[in-house]
Amino acid sequence: MEVTRILKETLLKYSTMSNAEIKELLVKEQVLCGTAGMASKKPEPANHLL
């Protein structure tokens, strides 16, 4: 299955990396996801300020 192949490739990639490299990659992914999440979220009206 495609999912199994992707999982195997991902595990192989991470198993050959150092902990510092993995941490750096995860931080980059979190930043990208966070930025994408903010960009796609519509601004909500600030009713609590009224």
Q: What are 2-48's pLDDT values in tens digits?
A: 889 988 988 888 888 888 888 888 888 777 766 655 555 566 666 66
For residue 48, tell me if it sits in a domain: no
More confident of the two residues 1 and 43: 1
For residue 44, tell me if it sits in a domain: no
Q: What sign does the dihedral 11-25-31-39 (CA atoms) show?
A: negative
For residue 46, tell me if it sits in a domain: no
Q: Does the reported pTM lie above 0.75?
A: no
Query: Which pLDDT value is given to residue 26?
Result: 83
- Provide the number of structural domains found in the chain: 1
Query: Which pLDDT value is given to residue 31?
Result: 75
In three state form, how does the secondary structure of 1-50 look?
CHHHHHHHHHHHHHHCCCHHHHHHHHHHHHHHHHHHHHHHCCCCCCHHHC
| Phi, psi (degrees; rounded to nearest 5) at 46 | -90, 70
For residue 50, tell me if it sits in a domain: no
For residue 32, tell me if it sits in a domain: yes
